[in-house]
Amino acid sequence: MKKQIFISALLLLLTGWSSIYAEDGSRLWLRFDNVSKPATITGVKGTAMTELQTYWQGSPVLLKRQKGIAKDGYTIKSQDAKIVITASNDAGLLYGAYHLLRLQETGQSCNQLNISEQPVYDLRILNHWDNPNGTVERGFAGKSIFLNPDPERMKIYARANASVGINGTVLNNVNAKPEALSTESLQKAKSIADQLRPYGIRVYLSINFASPIKVGGLETADPLNAEVVKWWKEKVNEIYKLIPDFGGFLVKANSEGEPGPQDFGRTHADGANMLAGVLKPHKGIVMWRAFVYAPQSPDRANQAYLEFMPLDGQFADNVIIQIKNGPVDFQPREPYSPLFTAMQKTPMMVEFQITQEYLGAANHLVYLAPMWQEFFSFVKPQTLKAMAGVANIGDNVNWCGHHFAQANWYAFGRLAWNPNLTSEEIANEWLQQTFSLGSAVANPSLFTLHSSLLNLMLRSREACVSYMMPLGIHHIFAGTHHYGPEPWYAPRGLRADWTPPYYHKADSIGLGFDRTLTGSANVKQYPDDLCRLYNDINTCPENLLAWFHHVPWDHKMKSGRTFWDELCHKYDEGVHETRRFLAIWDAMQPYIDAQRFEEVQRKLRIQARDSEWWRDACLLYFQTFSKRPIPSDVEHPVHNLDEMMRFRIPISMYENPESGYNK
Ligand code: GCV
């Protein structure tokens, strides 16, 4: 009997049923309960002190300012009976306070502390693709949180960001509407900035390069025109009057139809430097995106390099070139963008996509830290100035549409602080805090379950690559929504680089894009050793094979299988992984609160069904070119190609996560 009571008590503790909060994910990983008797917190007053007074359950803390510690860095030291957090600025103290709370929530000892931390990047920035009408481009978690900013939600947003070290946020879509700079919008930005400032977060805006025409009524937006420069100066002055610590501008120019300096015969450098000049007296910066590609380009992957390399060294010192991690567009797997190793004289920052535009939206559980770490295995963190992440945040109760998508927001922040953290460390921290498993890991049976959940997260990205586009295949998504497979999508008249056949090039010989020296020569944009490695079909890593080669169907793979057979196995393996994920989650049922358990379970079922959809659609379609049988030891498609080609997924299935595939 006693044992039963103990187990029930443990379960209550673990599942948070005793908590006064609904388990709807709205508290993110910040699940600390208010303390009934605040610990003694002395020293520097501010947000750090308030957070500790509200949530810290341990011994007295002294918050101390001290010069000489790196900006935003901190030390945490046990001294006699108290803990001393030291930093050179308020943000550092706040990050130190959150570090302490993280130790508390993950059940770690807070005795004998001797911690010293400093961020690798000064700028750790979220990019919201939010529109003035409240829609979010590629957002799968409802409307913009900035449409009618609710102060309570803003506070959770600010705390969540600060708890992982995020210190900047771009409030609006890079496809920027000119009205982003209207006086009304700026007033709104000011109000948001005021709410975020106590948490060390600065706001930035995306701008439309044609604003002088569209907002200012000028005849041109030529960056070398004196009237245009004057207009920007006045606009920037207006912004800084409202937001004295405004961060600066993010610019998408001459890309996908957005206006830019090339419309006036000027270069990216001319455009970026003009804006940098007007921001400079205010200490503002320009983040200028390198996401450019032209319809006539024979290889889109070559384009950014071709446009930006000739400008290397020509940018002002408060310009940072913001480059997507891969050369095409946030695919489940891409090689790194060669600009990162080629540009030597220009500050660069990486743009990751936290929102899962190409990774199953808010329906698929895909933990992205391993993908971002893969990038850092090629690009040395110290060669970059900053890190940006396209946010996956909306006004859904659980913020991100999928409870596990919160882990990607969390991981982005942690990696922007320290790109050398492992995916496992980060997932472990997040799981323990989010599902209150802090003390559970000490319990052997729960420890096993926790480990399998952790393992699920770590395998999830590779699983997604397998069931969507293994072996280097890429961009075979449905035309507009990018949710499901449509490798055949090629409406007459649509620009070729917006259709999957441009990328997969399937024919009777094989599959994949020839980017070798005799193909588009994209390999040449990489350093010599990588160029050689990628250029040779026998040395090219198999997970990028069809990225760099048009691979013959009978090409011998390391496994001894032909490329076609390997492709079939990979797709099938992806499907089996999603089923295993479901089984792992099902075993967690006794230990997870009912609401979150059921919501995640429903999504995992969608993911398992979608993975079959991907496998069947892709294998049946590619089979029309390979003319080879699907191997007997691979589960055969449960659908047929006609069915797959006719299938249209209702928008509600991926855009509004509240209405799942099963409903
Ligand atoms: C914001 C891709 C996306 C677009 C996005 C663009 C970009 O093309 O599909 O929605 O636009 O990238 O990053 O600018």
pLDDT digits (tens, 9 = 90+) for 479-509: 888 999 999 999 999 999 999 999 999 999 9
Query: Of residues 21 and 457, which shows the higher confidence score?
Result: 457
- The set of catalytic residues is 256, 329, 357
pLDDT at 439: 58
- Best substitution site from 130, 138, 328, 499 to test ligand 1's pocket, by max atoms within 8 Å of Cβ? 138
Task: Give the global pTM.
Answer: 0.95
Q: Which protein residues are within 6 Å of ligand 1, measured from CB?
A: 129, 137-138, 174-175, 252, 256, 291, 329
Q: List the single range of 285-289, 500-504, 515-519, 588-592 with lowest mean pLDDT.
A: 588-592
- The DSSP 8-state label assigned to residue 261 in this structure reads G
Alpha carbon of 355 to ligand 1 centroid (Å)? 11
| Of 64-68, 217-221, 494-498, 524-528, minimum mean pLDDT range | 494-498
Read off the tokens for 275. Answer: 């804006």
pLDDT at 438: 56
Among 502, 501, 464, 496, CA closest to 483: 464
Nearest CA to ligand 1 atom 2: 329
Residue minimizing CA distance to atom 8 of ligand 1: 329
**Centre of ligand 1 from the C-alpha of residue 172, in Å:** 13
Residue 310 in tokens: 């000739």
Polymer length of the chain: 663
Number of neighbours of residue 26 by Cβ within 10 angstroms: 14
Nearest ligand 1 atom to the CA of 174 is 1
Percent of the residues in the chain that have a pLDDT greater than 70, as a whole number? 95
Distance of CA 527 to the CA centre of its chain: 27
Query: What is the 360 CA–ligand 1 centroid distance (Å)?
Result: 16
Q: Taken in order 145, 146, 147, 149, is the CA torsion positive or negative?
A: positive
Give nearest CA residue, ligand 1 atom 12: 329
How many angstroms is it from 326 CA to the middle of ligand 1? 13
3-state secondary structure of 50: helix
Residue 20 binned pLDDT confidence (cut-offs 50, 70, 90): low
Closest C-alpha to 627, from 554, 570, 573, 560: 554
- Atom in ligand 1 nearest the alpha carbon of residue 390: 13
| Ligand 1 centroid to residue 269 C-alpha, Å | 22
How is residue 646 written in tokens? 């006719």
* Ligand 1 atom nearest to 482, measured from its CA: 9
Question: Per residue in 275-305, pLDDT tens?
Answer: 999 999 999 999 999 999 988 889 999 999 9
What is the position in ligand 1's atom list of the atom closest to the CA of 137? 10
| pLDDT score recorded for residue 582 | 98
Q: Which two tokens stand for residue 259?
A: 């206006």
Count CA within 13 A, CB hemisphere, residue 469. Answer: 30
